[in-house]
Amino acid sequence: MLTFLINLDHRTDRMAFMQAQLGPMGLGFQRVSAVNGMGEDEIGYPADHPRLTKGEFACYLSHVKCWRAFIETDAERCLILEDDIVFGPDFMACIAHNGFFDHDGCVTRLECRVYPTVLRKKNRHMFNGTRLRQQMAYDGGTAAYVITRTYAAYLLKHHSTPKIPLDDQTLNPDEVALKPHKIYQLDPAPATQRFFLDKASPLYNGESDLEAGRKYPVKTTEPSGVLGLITSFFITRLQNARSNLFYIRKIVPFSGEND
C-alpha cells in the first residue's frame, strides 16, 4: 500500500525509530518533510487563531502535504503515518487484507487511544480476530490511518486551510466536512502512539511536539481518584443511556499491548 511517513527534518531520532520498525516489517514508505510549527519559519499561521496553536496548524499542513502527494499518484487509497507510532504484530497482515478497506467509508483508523469510543456493534468485516467497525462518535488521532482518494481530494478542495484541529475536520462524524462519509475502526487496533503506551513499556515516550500550549489537551490516562472515578461512572452511564442496541462504547485495545 502507498505509504507516507510524516517526519520533521530535525527529528532524526524519530526517523531512526520508525526505520527500525518499518525495515524488518518490509513496509516501504515515502518520507514527507513535516511543516515545522515550533520554529521561526513563516507558515501562514495567524497569531490570533481561535482554535489552533502553531504546532497544531503545522500538523494539519503536514497532512495536507500527504494528501497532495497522494492525489498525484494513481492509488485509490494510501496509508499515512506520524513518526511516533508503534505497531502491533498484526499490522502488516491488517494492511495487506483488502477486506478492511473495501467499504463505503472514507477513512480506516488503525490506531487506538486510552479512552472509550462509540462503535457500531455489527462488524462490517472480520479477519483473524480483528473486527472492522463503523465509528459512530468522535475519536481523535491521525497518527495511523488509511484514506481514500475521493476523500483526500474532497478535503483538499474544501478544507486545505486549517481552521479546526485535523482530527475534528477529518474524523468527527458530526462535522459537516464528513457527511455523508463514514469512518471505520480496526478493533483491536494494530497501532498506537508511544504517548499512549503504558509508562512501564520500553517504547513509551511522553514527549509530544503538539501538547505544549495546546488549547484542548489530549487525555493520556483514564480518570483516577474517588471523585474522578465517580464522575466517570455517571458520565459513562449517561452516555450508555443515549446509545441503543446497535452501538457499543468501549476502549479499543492495542494488539501489541501484551507483547
- Name the more confident of 48 and 223: 48
Cell of 219: 487525555
- Name the more confident of 105 and 72: 72
**What's the pLDDT band for 66 if we cut at 50, 70, 90?**
very high
In the chain, how many domains are there? 1
**What's the pLDDT band for 214 if we cut at 50, 70, 90?**
low
pLDDT at position 144 is 98
pLDDT at position 216 is 53
Q: Is residue 127 part of a domain?
A: yes
pLDDT at position 257 is 79
Which residues have a Cβ under 8 Å from the Cβ of 151 and sit 6 or more positions away? 106, 107, 181
Which residues have a Cβ under 8 Å from the Cβ of 125 and sit 6 or more positions away? 99, 100, 103, 131, 132
Q: Is residue 76 part of a domain?
A: yes
Q: Mean pLDDT over all residues of the chain?
A: 87
The answer to whether residue 76 scores a pLDDT higher than 80 is: yes
Stretch 70-79: mean pLDDT: 98
pLDDT, tens digit, for every residue of 39-56? 767 899 998 888 899 999
Q: Is residue 162 part of a domain?
A: yes
Q: Is residue 248 part of a domain?
A: no
Range of the domain at 76: 3-219
Q: Is residue 235 part of a domain?
A: no
Q: Is residue 182 part of a domain?
A: yes
Q: Is residue 257 part of a domain?
A: no
CATH number where 51 lies: 3.90.550.10
Q: Is residue 232 part of a domain?
A: no
E strand intervals along the chain: 3-7, 30-33, 77-82, 85-87, 107-109, 111-112, 117-120, 125-127, 130-134, 144-148, 183-187, 191-193, 247-250
230 three-class SS: helix
pLDDT, tens digit, for every residue of 154-184? 999 999 999 999 998 898 776 656 666 799 9
Return the sign of the alpha-carbon dihedral for residues 11, 12, 16, 18.
Answer: positive
User: How buried is residue 98: exposed, middle or buried, by Cβ count under 10 Å (0-12/13-18/19+)?
Assistant: exposed
Q: pTM for the full model?
A: 0.86
CA dist., res. 98 & res. 210, Å (int): 33
